Every structure is written in C-alpha cells, then in structure tokens.
Structure 1
Amino acid sequence: MLTLHNPPTTPAPFADRYANLAEIDLGAARLLVLSGQVALDHDGAVVGPGDMTAQATAIFTAVEALLADRGAGFADVVNVRTYLTDLSLLAEYAAVRRRFFTGPPPTSTTVEVSRLFLPDALLEVEITAVV
C-alpha cells in the first residue's frame, strides 16, 4: 500500500505539485522515499542564498522532521542522492551531513548539476529509508 504525506512540520512542496514523502508498506518493513529537498522556509523562500552550510542545515532539518513524522530517523536512511550546483562546496556540505549522520553511513551518490529549479538553491537532496 502506498501513502503520500506532506506533514505540516516541514515546508510544503514547491507549488504543491508533489508529495514530500511516499510511504510504501512492504509487510515486515516500510519504505520511505523522500522527494528532493531544497532549502525552503515555510513561506517557500530559499534559505541562505549563496550559503552552503545554511542550505544543507535547512535541508537536513527538514529531512529529520519528515522522517520523524513516520517514526524514523537518520539511522534508517539507506540511500542519499545529492545534487550540487558547485562541487567546490562539497566539503561544506559534507561537514553538515556528518552532523546528522552519526552512525554507519548510508549508500550515497553526489553529482554536480548545472542548475536546480530555483536559481538560489545550491543543492537538492533525496533520501530513501527503511523502517
């Protein structure tokens, strides 16, 4: 069974055209697939334009709230996909990520992209978790 979620504890999806989280009941476990998260505040404005640390912190704070809404945490994350607009900012991103992922690291993919759908967004992060 598939259930889509947009908890009020996180910024609403951009233009309400998608769900923030899909929850798939697998019987003995639940698969959580989070939409790509960018650093948005509750009014839909980009947090920290030009500031990788501020944007990464905002994203992982939103991810934390999305996971918590479904009874999960960073220890349940099995895959992270990161899209950076500038790989020279990778060290700043990684420093923030390490603050949230304190246990064994999940599988991961990081790529540089030419741009994201919002001009001030420096990164977008997708998460998959199993509970």
Structure 2
Amino acid sequence: MANERINYAGSSPLEPVIGYSRVVRVGNIVHVAGTTATNPDGSGQIVGVGDMYLQTKQTLENIQTALSRAGIELKHVVRTRMFVTDISRWEEVGRAHGEFFRDIRPVAAMYGIQALVSPDMLVEIEVEAILPEGHP
C-alpha cells in the first residue's frame, strides 16, 4: 500500500483523450498536472483572458480544488512550477502565488515560455505535495 498509485480525474474532457490524470498520488507523494485558468464548470473557457494575475489566481483555485478532491490541502504542497508566456509580467503571477502560499512557502520556479496550448492561456502551474506519515 505504501507505493499504491491512485489517479484522480479533474473536469477536463481532454484527460482521457490525451491520457493523463489531474492528480496522481503514489504513497505519500502527490503530483498535480499542469493546470491553467479554465472555468471550473468544465466548459474549457479561460477565466481572465489577458489578465495574468486573474489567470494565476484561477489556476491556483483549480489546483486547490483538485487537491481537495483527493483529500489533500495546499499546506502539503512542497513545490510549484509556474510557466508564463510573458516573463516580464512575473510580478502579477508572484502576487497571486503569494496570496495562496505566503505562509506555506513551497520551493518555486517560474519559467518564461513561448506559448501554451491556447493563445488565451498565459499561465500554467504544476505542483507537488508530500503528505505526512499516516495521512489517509
């Protein structure tokens, strides 16, 4: 059971098409797939088109929802990776990240990239979490 793999689906209709899970837990290690600012209703529409701060905030809310479906909290996050299409706007992303992680303070990296799947997507974030011993 220590290395049992559990996959948790999100709301994206692309998960079975592409072949990925929103969250994968193996033992006490949890990985969250690259997540964007899609509307939580599953429509795939992007929240905050053109607004990097709002997209980061929505992305982190989507991650928080995905983790909570798996019984995991943001406080368990130990690493974030932020991919942004305009690194000159890093402060907008950092401000939203700080609102979620100011007290948790995971290790973090931010990368300037050329593009994401949709031109409306400005931010994509991955996270990793480690659960304490005995966490269900």
TM-score, structure 1 normalization: 0.87
Runs of 4+ that moved beyond 6 A: none
Q: What is the CA–CA distance in structure 2 between the aligned matches of 1:21 and 1:119, rounded to whole Å?
A: 25
**Which of 26, 33, 36 pairs up with 1:35?**
33
Q: What is the CA–CA distance in structure 1 between the aligned matches of 2:47 and 2:92, rounded to whole Å?
A: 16
Unaligned stretches of 5+ residues in structure 1? none
Identity of aligned residues (%): 24
Unaligned stretches of 5+ residues in structure 2? 132-136
> Which residue identity is paired with 2:95?
A
* Aligned pairs (5 A) from 1:40-119: 40-41=38-39, 42-119=42-119
Query: How much is the aligned-residue C-alpha RMSD, in angstroms?
Result: 1.4
Shift of 1:54: 1.5
Count of matched residue pairs: 124
Q: Does 1:23 align with 2:25?
A: yes
Shift of 1:13: 5.4
Q: Does 1:6 align with 2:12?
A: no
Q: What is the CA–CA distance in structure 2 between the aligned matches of 1:57 and 1:13, rounded to whole Å?
A: 22
Aligned to 1:123: 123
Q: What is the CA–CA distance in structure 2 between the aligned matches of 1:109 and 1:3, rounded to whole Å?
A: 26
